[in-house]
């Protein structure tokens, strides 16, 4: 039956090509849009996801990871002495202006970490020496931001917030979500760059003692005045959720994906329906001669599913190509296996829905109509 | 073929069939009080002017259309007592249909067209391809089994359609002007084929036609006029 459905479908190659193109564009739109969304979300929480902290402590009611209200060192000491906390490290995350060679200013996001920090440190270091971040004004820059920063080499000097800075190490692939390049430095330089008071920081990162119950430690930390605490996964999810829902970016991506699905539905539906109308007399003949409805439905459904498979493979290929093209533009499209599986299911459902009109048409077909010329 | 005798029971029997299309002012009495019996081995031709009710008559006979009045027996079953759900199965078991327009899938070869019908009729059919091949042999198209309809003549296409109608070995073949799209020579050979089929397995063939030249293939000629069966005679009797 598959073979026969395939033959009926492939008989008109142009129509089949259009149907497959419709499905593949739809598949590509869904994959790229959702992949971009996942990519954005991954980037939004990249610092949290790369940190080794078990628990993040923030100022109470601080909603946004990148624009948080500072804490002070008293809080840090109370966190460090909370039972179940094995290690506590301060971290600064704030914006500052970096002086470009051209004389213009560029906003950067400064990440200040403890000397010998273990819970948050730059990763993917491709050049230079991170252990020298403790030297005054030492920073890391990311290779992907070279075009913006024009800082090409270790040792390159500049100013951040009017304070002298020097590239001590270069990382690769640490992308910023806010579009302001991420610059790692130590706590002291970070306070200087961002004009943050001494003894102020944005986060305290916590490593739990072996065997400590995260929920109980979090509850204990929350009893410190004006403090909120989240386990790392929750912190990551909150950050993604903030950007996704507050900015409407999530809705935007999903709307485009849904539009893609609608395009696919209409194109495939239209082509299948057209093909069904064209073969209505043949289907009617088969029905008159006793073809079971289920068999007739299957022939049409199989045609839809064949379009789905071909379109999915083409669209998947297009999406992988688009990912490569967009990586050049510093956009990450996160095409996870889960996304492919989900999209495959959506495609199958879409094509099944698209065949519904044809199926209804054939089911309603009066066998007596076959004698009408 | 041997004309039916009253001793053999008919394969199908219509009694007092009436059909009215539409209602009220627009009602059309397409068929009035039609009686017709189809006997095994019989090759019947139904003729009559355009609009006289021929298609209506065989549609009702073939269980494709419900009559407004009258009753139908298929074998020993009274159709009026069957529900809508049982009708398609009885139809599939009893009738094969052939049309003026062949109605073959252009994408499928002769063999595939026939096999598809066999499969769709019975999902558990044994070796549909083998059956299809045998049927194509029977209609003289064995060597053309792998040709597409587009590569066949009208007569060959109609033979494929006949082979398809024979799938599942129904006792009655019904054709509505199956030769109308064919030239005379081809039409005659198709009629010859149908007549030959009627002689096998106690099958019956019922064919509507406009073409009086085809009468010579019939055992019985039924004439319909204005919704009434005007005459129903063995061919020899009619000729005299
Ligand atoms: N579905 C329908 N609705 C209304 N009237 C119909 C319908 N089908 C047929 N009729 C009418 O019933 C009458 C008989 O039609 P039928 O098709 O049985 O004639 P026919 O003998 O087959 O004609 P032809 O030789 O032209 O095929 C005609 O007057 C026709 O207009
Ligand atoms: Mg007619």
Contacts by B154-157, CB closer than 8 A, 24 or more apart: B154/B102, B154/B181, B154/B182, B154/B183, B154/B186, B155/B182, B155/B186, B155/B187, B155/B189, B155/B190, B156/B110, B157/B102, B157/B104
CA distance B11 to A172: 86
Distance CA A200, CA A190 (A): 10
B128 lies in some domain: yes
Among A131-135, A163-167, A328-332, which is the least confidently predicted range?
A328-332
Q: How far apart are CA B111 and CA B232, in angstroms?
A: 38
Interface of A with B in 225-284 (CB under 8 A): 279, 281-282, 284
Angle at B89 between CA B84 and CA B93, to 5 degrees: 140
Nearest residue in chain B measured CA to CA from A370: B99
Residue B3 lies in a domain: no
Point out the residue among A11, A290, A370 whose CB comes nearest to the CB of B99: A370
Give A1 or A85, the one with higher predicted confidence: A85
Q: What percent of chain A has pLDDT over 70?
A: 100
Q: Please work out whether the CB of residue B53 comes within 6 Å of at least one atom of ligand 1.
A: yes
User: Which residue matches tokens 């301060």?
Assistant: A90
The 10 Å Cβ neighbour count of residue B66 is 14
On whether any CB of chain A is under 8 Å from the CB of B148, the answer is: no
Q: Which ligand is nearest to the CA of A371?
A: 2
Q: With CA atoms as reference, report the closest residue to A275 among A292, A310, A299, A311.
A: A299
- What span, in angstroms and rounded, lies between the C-alpha atoms of B222 and B234? 9
The span from the CA of A91 to the CA of A186, in Å, is 9
Predicted structure pTM score: 0.77
- pLDDT computed for residue B236 by the predictor: 66
Q: Is residue B2 part of a domain?
A: no
Residue B7 lies in a domain: no
What does the pLDDT read at residue B199?
85
Return the closest-CA partner of residue A59 out of A177, A189, A191, A201.
Answer: A201
- Give pLDDT, residue B239: 45
CB contact (8 A) between residue B121 and residue A291: yes
Q: What is the pLDDT of residues A304-334, one digit of tens each?
A: 999 999 999 999 999 999 999 988 777 888 8
Domain assignment present for B4: no
B105, B135, B166, B167: best to mutate for the A interface, most A CBs within 10 A:
B105
Which range, of A87-101, A102-116, B80-94, averages the lowest pLDDT?
B80-94
Chain A with chain B: Cβ pairs closer than 8 A: 83
Please write the tens of the pLDDT for every residue from A33-57: 999 999 989 999 999 999 999 999 9
Q: What is the CATH number of the domain that holds B230?
A: 3.40.50.300
Nearest CA distance, B62 vs chain A (angstrom)? 9
Work out the number of other CB atoms within 10 angstroms of the CB of residue A179. 11
User: Which residues have CB under 8 Å from A167's CB, separation 6+?
Assistant: A128, A139, A140, A141, A151, A153, A154, A155, A156, A157, A158
| Closest CA–CA distance from residue A334 to any residue of chain B (Å) | 42
> Pick from B59, B107, B121: which is nearest to A368 by CB?
B59
Q: Which chain A residues touch B105 with a CB distance below 8 Å?
A: 8, 279, 282
- Ligand 1 mutation pick, B17, B18, B21, B101, max ligand atoms within 8 A of CB: B21
d(CA B62, CA B59) in angstroms, rounded, equals: 5
Name the minimum distance, in Å, from the CA of A270 to any CA of chain B: 20
Ligand 1 in reach of B164 Cβ (< 6 A): no
Mean pLDDT taken over chain A: 90
Partner-chain residue, chosen from B64, B89, B107, that has the shortest CB–CB distance to A371: B64
Token code pair at residue B228: 């009434």
Note whether B136 and A306 are within 8 A (CB).
no
Rounded average pLDDT per 10-residue block, chain B, 240 residues? 64 96 90 95 93 94 93 92 84 91 91 90 88 94 94 94 92 93 90 88 91 85 94 66
Q: Is residue B66 part of a domain?
A: yes
Q: Is the CB of residue A170 less than 8 Å from the CB of residue A127? A: yes
How close A290 comes to chain B (CA, Å)?
Answer: 4
Place of tokens 């049309």: B99
Distance CA A40, CA A48 (A): 14
Taking the C-alpha atoms of residue A173 and residue A145, their distance in angstroms, rounded to an integer, is 9
- What's CA A107's distance to the chain center, in Å? 24
Residue B5 lies in a domain: no
> How many domains does the structure of chain B reveal?
1
Instruction: Read off φ and ψ for residue A99, nearest 5 degrees.
Output: -85, 120
Residue B56, ligand 1, Cβ within 6 A: yes
| pLDDT tens, residue by residue, A220-237 | 999 999 999 999 999 999
- For residue B131, being part of any structural domain is answered with yes
Q: Cα A240 vs. chain centroid, distance in angstroms?
A: 9
pLDDT per position as a tens digit, A5-21? 888 888 888 989 988 99
**Residue A352: CB atoms within 10 Å:** 15
Domain range holding B156? 12-239
């Amino acid at each position: 039956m598959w073979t026969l459905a395939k033959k009926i479908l492939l008989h008109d190659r142009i129509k089949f090509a259009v149907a497959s193109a419709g499905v593949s564009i739809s598949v590509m739109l869904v994959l790229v849009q959702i992949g971009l969304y996942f990519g954005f979300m991954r980037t939004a929480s990249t610092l949290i996801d790369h940190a080794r902290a078990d628990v993040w402590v923030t100022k109470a009611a601080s909603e946004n990871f990148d624009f948080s209200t500072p804490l002070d060192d008293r809080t840090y000491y109370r966190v460090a002495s909370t039972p179940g906390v094995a290690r506590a490290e301060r971290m600064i995350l704030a914006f500052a202006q970096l002086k470009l060679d051209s004389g213009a200013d560029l906003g950067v996001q400064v990440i200040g970490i403890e000397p010998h920090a273990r819970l948050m440190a730059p990763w993917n270091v491709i050049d230079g020496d991170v252990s020298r971040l403790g030297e005054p004004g030492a920073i890391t820059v990311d290779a992907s931001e070279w075009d913006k920063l024009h800082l090409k080499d270790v040792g390159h000097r500049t100013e951040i917030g009017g304070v002298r800075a020097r590239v001590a190490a270069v990382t690769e692939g640490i992308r910023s979500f806010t579009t302001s390049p991420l610059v790692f430095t130590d706590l002291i330089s970070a306070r200087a760059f961002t004009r943050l008071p001494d003894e102020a920081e944005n986060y305290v990162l916590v490593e739990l003692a072996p065997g400590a119950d995260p929920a109980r430690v979090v509850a204990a930390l929350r009893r410190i005045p004006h403090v909120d605490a989240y386990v790392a996964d929750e912190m990551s999810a909150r950050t993604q959720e903030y950007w996704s829902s507050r900015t409407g970016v999530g809705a935007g991506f999903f709307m485009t994906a849904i539009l893609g699905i609608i395009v696919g539905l209409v194109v495939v539906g239209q082509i299948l329906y057209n093909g069904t109308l064209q073969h209505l007399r043949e289907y009617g003949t088969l029905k008159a001669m006793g073809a079971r409805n289920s068999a007739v439905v299957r022939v049409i459904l199989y045609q839809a599913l064949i379009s789905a498979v071909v379109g999915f493979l083409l669209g998947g290929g297009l999406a992988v190509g688009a990912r490569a093209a967009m990586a050049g533009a510093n956009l990450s499209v996160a095409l996870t296996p889960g996304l492919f599986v989900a999209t495959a299911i959506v495609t199958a459902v879409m094509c099944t829905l698209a065949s519904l009109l044809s199926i209804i048409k054939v089911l309603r077909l009066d066998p007596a109509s076959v004698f009408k010329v | 073929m041997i004309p039916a005798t009253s001793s053999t029971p008919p394969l199908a029997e219509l009694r007092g069939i009436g059909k009215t299309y539409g209602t009220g002012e627009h009602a059309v009495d397409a068929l009035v009080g039609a009686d017709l019996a189809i006997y095994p081995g019989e090759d019947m031709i139904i003729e009559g002017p355009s609009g006289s009710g021929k298609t209506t008559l065989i549609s009702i006979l073939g269980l494709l259309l419900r009559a407004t009045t009258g009753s139908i027996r298929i074998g020993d079953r009274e159709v009026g007592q069957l529900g809508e759900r049982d009708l398609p199965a009885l139809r599939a078991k009893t009738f094969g249909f052939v049309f003026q327009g062949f109605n073959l899938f252009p994408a499928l070869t002769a063999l595939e067209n026939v096999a598809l019908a066999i499969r769709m009729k019975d999902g558990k059919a044994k070796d549909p391809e083998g059956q299809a091949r045998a049927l194509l042999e029977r209609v003289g198209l064995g060597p053309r089994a792998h040709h597409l309809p587009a590569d066949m003549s009208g007569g060959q296409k109609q033979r494929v359609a006949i082979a398809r109608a024979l799938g599942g070995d129904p006792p009655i073949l019904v054709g509505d002007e199956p030769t109308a799209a064919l030239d005379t020579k081809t039409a005659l050979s198709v009629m010859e084929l149908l007549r030959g089929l009627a002689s096998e397995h106690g099958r019956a063939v019922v064919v509507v036609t406009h073409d009086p030249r085809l009468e010579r293939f019939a055992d019985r000629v039924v004439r319909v006029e204005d919704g009434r069966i005007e005459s129903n005679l063995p061919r020899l009797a009619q000729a005299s």
